[in-house]
Structure 1
Amino acid sequence: MMKNKKDVYQAALRLLNYKSQSEYEITYKLKNRGYTNEEINKTIEKLKKLNYINDEKLSIELFNYYKNQNILSNKMIHQKLKQKGLYINLDLSETEELNAAKKIVNLKFKISNLYKNNPDKLIIFLARKGFSQKIIYKLNLKKQSD
């Protein structure tokens, strides 16, 4: 069943009314609702012209949001952006990433003695969260647990 252009545009606006979304996210959701590629592409172009979809701006906003949360590694931030179809040429500084790792360690120590008494578990946890060996090494976790 072919839906009309106005329906596609209205559906896209409803999605954007909820929150800013990437071109990839809007396209994916409209496809799942049964709209054709042609209808979706025309709608996306219109939304881009009106600046309702701006992946570059959204990438920067989300990068800064995740950076300010101060609990994600650089790798994890880029993974979250990639899931939304976004890419950015920015990275956390080593200091910012180290501070995020320290914050996670402090949170884990508050929650459970499991990590305090077993630094290897914490090291594995941080590695799974995308922190590099260099950052993990700088935390000096083996010494903290003694």
Structure 2
Amino acid sequence: MNHSSVINRQKQPPKERTEDESGGGPIAGIYLPGVAATVTRRAGNKLLENTDIRVSLGCRIDSCSGSVRGPAEDPRRHYLHARAQEMATMLERPAAWRPTLEVDRLRQANNLRRRVNKYYMDDDIKELKTRTLMSLINGIEEQRQAS
């Protein structure tokens, strides 16, 4: 393994790619904090263009604060600052409150996923799964009751 070439390759900015280009690995999706899910770029763009739901899905921090379409403009930077903010918000609270706050966040995301599934699905927007969120919510509540 040539470590210096790997580091040099990582320093290069990613090449711009069009939707119909193939090869070069997968295109990063768009993380939507409102539903706590990463969706395809096409689905993310459609949801962020929809005036009924985009404020609930979007991001209002860092570079995304200037535009409702912020998450779609730079998905990688958005993902990093959105997830970092979610974790920082949780860690700011006392440890005893964290499970409740996380359950609340997951419930809101689950409700919003159901709303998207009910009213905004089409060929580009696939169903957002809710089973994992419900499992996490149930697991946290079981742990809280056991202790």
TM-score class normalised by the smaller sequence: under 0.3
TM-score by structure 1 length? Answer: 0.26
Structure with greater proportional strand content? 2
Structure with greater proportional helix content? 1
TM-score by structure 2 length? Answer: 0.26
Q: Who wins on radius of gyration, i.e. which is larger?
A: 1
